[in-house]
Structure 1
């Protein structure tokens, strides 16, 4: 992993070729305009064959003090055909066991909904 130093400028991001034809999804919920920090967000990448997810990477931010990769959700969706039941279950698993900071419980249903939307986006 490369760490940027003070004054460094990121000029390029290389995506491994095995993800070149993947389906990518990003969404954030915020209070105000697009410049505002997110309340919660989801970033996902899916490799698909037809309506079946062959591989997935899903992460959320805002439900914990740091971004969280959703390994359990990834395991659920890999090998599955995308339908509403899968999206709903993925959303439930996404927040299972989460412990948001004080007064942030309202972020759990938002996070669940964003994960559902990410999974639905594959269909």
Structure 2
């Protein structure tokens, strides 16, 4: 299971970086979304996947006898999801506003409009 998730993290990172290198602003936002999802999956993978083991350890335990699910990466992922949703919402509104002003989605054409005027 971990190998499949590690492969998925690599695919998300690769496609996210590829999309961010395109000239379109919409593809830039899609790349940021994919890269954020890859990072969340990587954090989840680092927290160990244990089926049926609660993230609660008894207070009198001195040594961890069995594998347990670490709750810290799960809490970090929940926080990262909320922050990335806010970033995505802001980026979409910003792209919509830039498109209405400049009338193009291409980053090279947006750069060239200042020189033509």
Relative to the length of structure 1, the TM-score reads 0.25
Structure showing greater radius of gyration is 2
Q: Which structure carries more helix by proportion?
A: 2
Which of the pair is proportionally richer in strand?
A: 1
- Per the normalisation by structure 2, the TM-score is 0.26
Higher relative contact order (CA 8 A, sep 6+): 2
